[in-house]
């Protein structure tokens, strides 16, 4: 895990911690790299897209997913296990009345296994602080305008809990297969900073 992190204070702190663990003989750089590789193996926004497409196609799965996402994920061959501890996942559904958007105000907690590595803007201090205070303005900056009648709910992730947005199914997609539906879903839609 070498490299410089001059512009990223969180990455620099992580690297200092890694160096202390290696210097203390607790772990090697190779072991740290292997852990990271195992966490990221199969981590892609396609996983979240598959979940959304199944929820759009199967009302029973949708209900189970919204009630207890951790219990529903194995139905599509996924789970939130894989790190040091299993994380709770809550899936929040967008409706015409409510739009959901995700953030982690403390750092950048994020469901990597379902959405792939987080985008750089998600980790930025500007996004993390502003989306809580002025979500509608931040969404507009992403090019996403919501009707004034649509409430915006911001979900703040933590070390134990992660969130995923279930976007609204696009109109005119009734005849599409799950694979075709999954192809419409973007990582930004699963975070809530774009429509699908």
**Active site annotation includes 129:** no
The catalytic residue among 38, 79, 104, 158 is 104
**Active site annotation includes 109:** yes
Q: CA 103 → CA 1, 16, 20, 44, 94, distances in Å?
A: 26, 25, 30, 18, 16
Q: CA 4 → CA 13, 14, 20, 117, 120, distances in Å?
A: 11, 12, 16, 19, 16
**Phi and psi angles of residue 89, each rounded to the nearest 5 degrees, phi first:** -120, 130
The catalytic residue among 38, 57, 79, 107 is 107
**CA 54, 108, 157, 155 torsion-angle sign:** negative
**Active site annotation includes 177:** no
The catalytic residue among 38, 57, 79, 109 is 109
**Active site annotation includes 57:** no
Catalytic residues: 104, 107-109
């Amino acid at each position: 895990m070498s490299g410089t992190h001059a512009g990223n204070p969180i990455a620099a702190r992580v690297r200092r911690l890694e160096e202390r663990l290696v210097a203390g003989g607790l772990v090697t750089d190779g072991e740290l790299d292997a852990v990271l590789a195992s966490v990221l193996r199969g981590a892609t926004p396609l996983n979240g897209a598959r979940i959304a497409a199944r929820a759009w196609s199967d009302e029973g799965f949708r209900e189970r997913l919204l009630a207890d996402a951790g219990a529903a994920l194995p139905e599509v061959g996924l789970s939130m296990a894989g790190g040091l501890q299993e994380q709770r996942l809550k899936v929040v559904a967008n409706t015409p009345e409510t739009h959901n958007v995700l953030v982690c105000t403390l750092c950048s907690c994020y469901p990597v296994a379902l959405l792939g590595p987080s985008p750089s803007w998600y980790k930025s201090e500007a996004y993390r602080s502003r989306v809580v205070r002025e979500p509608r303005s931040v969404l507009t900056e992403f090019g996403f305008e919501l009707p004034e009648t649509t409430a915006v709910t911001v979900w703040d992730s933590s070390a134990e809990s992660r969130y995923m947005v279930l976007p609204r199914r696009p109109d005119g997609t009734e005849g599409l297969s799950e694979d075709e539906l999954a192809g419409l879903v973007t990582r930004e839609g699963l975070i809530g900073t774009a429509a699908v």
